[in-house]
Amino acid sequence: MPRTSPPLSTLLPPLICGTATFNNQYNPDPYAIPTTAIVHEALALGVRAFDTSPYYGPAEDLLGAALDTPFVHQNFPRQDYFLLTKVGRISGNEFDYSASWTRHSIQRSLERLHTDYLDVVYCHDVEFVSPEEVLTVVTELRRIRAETRVIKYVGISGYPVTTLCELAEMILEKTGEPLDIVMSYANFTLQNTRLATIALPRLKAAGVDVVPNASVLGMGLLRRKGVPIGAQGDFHPSPEKLRAAIQAASDWSDAQDIKDKRIEKVAIRWAFENWMREGASVGSRGDPASGIPWTREKIEKYGGTKLGVSVMGVSNTEELYETMRVWRSILDGLEGGEKTAIDSGRGANDHAWSLKRQKEVQALATGIRRVLGEWVDYAWPSPAPGFINKRSAPAVPAPLPTPAASPDPQSKKDLNKEGSDFRSMPAI
């Protein structure tokens, strides 16, 4: 079966807005999050890709409701943005990788997202099921892609990088077609870089086209105030000693004589900036959301190479604005970044400022990793020992409640300077 043409890496934007935060795992009440405002402001700021999943509670419904609005219909044609979703994971301990459930899940996602097609569909958290089950779903997704065209690109996602590599290699061997995309989360962060050191060579050898890096804060681990506590309580799988090491590293960073030294601010910029370079060989050439208004930009203008793909997660528009400030500052520091800064209205000095900030962040990151010591590159077990998939037979779940109206977008703040009057940081 031929791979989808053109390659995903020629189209996908290198910055994706994730919606795992539109869920009670990260927030007490996902319906209280200004999801419509987040989505509308993200689009207005140049973000052109959204990642979601049926597993993220009401996230698909909330994202779909935000996209099915006059603002989006009048300003952003469907072909101008990408929708990435997943199949297979139902709940914390329920997975259904059957062909029949896959078809049901795809149809449900199309309806929730108010779209005729899905740009990317992942098999969600593949480490929880057998390789044979993953192969079944990949085969079914590719059949749907070929026969109905409601799917464009097919991939897998999960946590253990060795499992992702083994499955990518197996799928290439069994089918003769490599995966379009493999998403890892919490594996290229200040604390853990196994995505680059272990997975990257193997995934490239398996022919994987794009490898996004998600959860740059390690599911909220790399925060001054600790892991996020939503309605589900403390869900984070990290051990207490790792959390203590992170707190010690955060305290060390706070004591340094450098502006914007909070561990989460360092962690976000470090991961975005370094994966933009280290993940470039499995990156993409889509619109980089540099701030040049209303254009379908081409990466060739800003350095001539692909950029490593990152997924951001935010819970309010303040976090979105700050994340976009960081992202654009990183773009300003690339080769050709001075022109990017000028064309976007930020100014000629922003290129030099970005390079200065890059050095500051690298120095802080080196110190933080030194404090972490033996916990550098630690990965928690997934699934946890004793895990049992409680899904015994396919069943269609009851529909989620209709999302309430989300607050209107807030007025944009000055995005020209990273860190301006900002009081919160993303949770993931």
Residue 56 annotated among the catalytic residues of the structure: yes
* Euclidean distance between CA atoms 218 and 20, whole angstroms: 13
Per residue in 397-418, is it b (16+ CB within 10 Å) or e — as a string? eeeeeebeebeebbeebebbeb
* Euclidean distance between CA atoms 93 and 86, whole angstroms: 16
C-alpha torsion angle, residues 216, 218, 221, 223 (rounded to 10): 0
Q: How many CA atoms lie within 13 A of 15 on its CB side?
A: 29
Residue 280: strand pairing partners:
none
* Euclidean distance between CA atoms 194 and 168, whole angstroms: 16
* Euclidean distance between CA atoms 196 and 161, whole angstroms: 10
Q: Are 152 and 145 in contact (CB under 8 A)?
A: yes
Radius of gyration of the chain (CA): 20
User: Which entry of 26, 31, 55, 56 is annotated as an active-site residue?
Assistant: 56
Q: How many CB atoms lie within 10 A of CB 294?
A: 7
> In this structure, what token pair is assigned to residue 78?
């469907």
Q: Which residues are catalytic?
A: 56
